[in-house]
Amino acid sequence: MTPHPRRRRRGDDRREQIIDEALKAFADNGYRSTSIAEIADRCGLSQPGLLHYFPNKAALLEAVLDYRDRLDYDRLGFDQELHGKDALLRLAQLVDHNMHVPGLVRLFTVLTSEAVTADHPAHDWALNRYRDLQEFLAGALRAGIADGSIRREIDPAAVARQVFAMMDGLQLQWLVDPDNVDMAALFRAYIDELIAYIA
């Protein structure tokens, strides 16, 4: 029997609330230091009530990461074919946007740091995320080489790794010292210099 649409909508709303509160808790305390009981309490639920929607903490983390990735991928335009400098400029737009969503940036930074250990439930997510992003940018740079807008001598894979290292390093510095690190301006200056170098 199919649930009534209103009941299904209430269930969807509750799942969204749980994901939102879990995102905040993981961003504040990390995955390992956050308990299901704490997230349930933030949502006004009992532990069994929360586990009705997510069977365990790892499943909830997966839902949080999927939500965060959907937001980034939509902003980054993975569904579009970007060539050369257009992909680099899109990353600069993403960094500018990230200054307005510090909770998402903190979540990414905390979970990525924790995920360096192979037994962390977000390890594969972090590994695959970096591989996907680097391939996305390297592919755009290769397309730029093919259409003549990017110099042939550059190594697209190496440039992609450098770009994401700069991006993540600036995010970390900004989170630690937001009043003195203009992440968006610094990253845009870096991208402008990089475009001038590789064009």
What are the DSSP E strand ranges found in the chain? none
What per-residue confidence (pLDDT) applies to 153? Answer: 96
pLDDT mean for each 10 residues of the chain (199 residues): 59 87 87 92 93 92 85 69 88 91 87 91 91 93 95 96 97 96 98 96
pTM of the model: 0.81
Structure-token pair, residue 124: 């594969």
Supply the CATH classification number for the domain 5-198. 1.10.357.10
Sole residue written with tokens 């990230």: 98
Domain limits, the chain: 5-198
Whether the CB-CB separation of 133 and 87 falls below 8 Å is answered with no
Q: Give the residue from 163, 65, 191, 56 showing the smallest Cα distance to 122.
A: 65
Question: Cβ(199)–Cβ(150) under 8 Å?
Answer: yes
